[in-house]
Amino acid sequence: MAYVEGFVVAVPTANRQAYRDHATESASFLGEFGVTRMVEAWGDDVPDGKLNDFKGAVKAGADETVVFSWFEYPSRKIRDEANRAMFADPRMKQMGASMPFDGKRMIFGGFDVFVDEGRSGAMGYADGYLVAVPAANREAYHALAARMAPYFLDLGALRVVEAWGDDVPEGKITDFSRAVLAKPDEAVVFSWVEWPSREVRMNGWKRMMEDTGMGSQGETPFDAARMVYGGFEPIVDLPLGNKAPGRKVA
């Protein structure tokens, strides 16, 4: 897996089942165009931030829940071809007309994967992150992410993915850059950690906070105060395409 289309959406909390059904119904359509995995994860532990957060990223109301989701592709070329074909397909218009959320506040973009550690398979929980990183610090961030990925796996995580902003459009209402208050010289990183369960995730984070060696990681190559993060419960996790391993809808 080499490319990711990432999304963050504000969904009326009352529409959880309708959103899940809508996503599940669109899965076979997406698989026709090269998507190898589709994940939709419902906000479960999404804290308020001092500067920014997931709720502000999509201007979520008090009656809405944030959804963190992604499509996995073998390459950007396949993703670009898929988008052209999908938007020319009349079924896409039908799906757009029945969305159980405000599509104008959905943020989306394409990201180039540069860390993918662990095994791909069914998961029970995900931590999602958005980070603004100075473009000049890409290699330093890559080195930090590559060093931290095995650490998360040792804590019980199943997989760690870090993807660099590659095709992140500007939105009319909101977008990924505004979500992390990115400066002109900064790129957006879309990343996640897959866990077997919420319990394993909580235990892993407890161990991390108690790890006195974490303070010796050195200076972070980004402004951590603007990092957006939260915990999400997968409600759809589907393999698509002929070569994807078996998974089930949550």
Q: What is the pLDDT of residues 53-64, one digit of tens each?
A: 999 999 999 999
Asked if pLDDT for residue 166 goes beyond 70, the answer is yes
| Residue 148 CA from chain centroid, whole number | 18
Name 100's Cβ contacts closer than 8 Å, sequence gap at least 6.
11, 12, 15, 18, 19, 22
pLDDT given at position 82: 94
Predicted local confidence at residue 250, as pLDDT: 35
Comparing 87 with 64, which gets the higher pLDDT? 64
Residue 247 placed within a domain: no
Q: Per the structure block, which two tokens stand in for 143?
A: 């080195």
Whether 166 maps to a domain, the answer reads: yes
Residue 248 domain-assigned?
A: no
Q: Give the model confidence (pLDDT) of 152-164 as tens digits.
A: 999 999 999 999 9
At residue 228, the pLDDT reads 98
Top-confidence residue, 243 or 92: 92
Mean pLDDT over residues 120-127, rounded? 90
Element (H, E) at 132: strand 125-134
**CATH at 149:** 3.30.70.100
pLDDT recorded at residue 245:
37
Is residue 79 in some structural domain? yes
In the structure encoding, which two tokens stand for residue 99, read together? 């969305």
Predicted TM-score (pTM) of the model is: 0.93
Per-residue pLDDT tens for 17-53?
999 999 999 988 899 999 999 999 999 999 999 999 9
Residue 68, burial from CB neighbour count under 10 angstroms (0-12, 13-18, 19+): buried
**Cα atoms in the 13 Å half-sphere on the side-chain side of 162:** 21
Residue 245, domain member (yes or no):
no
Residue 95 has pLDDT above 80, yes or no: yes
pLDDT digits (tens, 9 = 90+) for 203-243: 999 999 999 777 666 689 999 999 999 999 999 999 986 44
Domain that holds residue 9: 3-239
CA dist., res. 177 & res. 36, Å (int): 26
Provide the domain count of the chain: 1
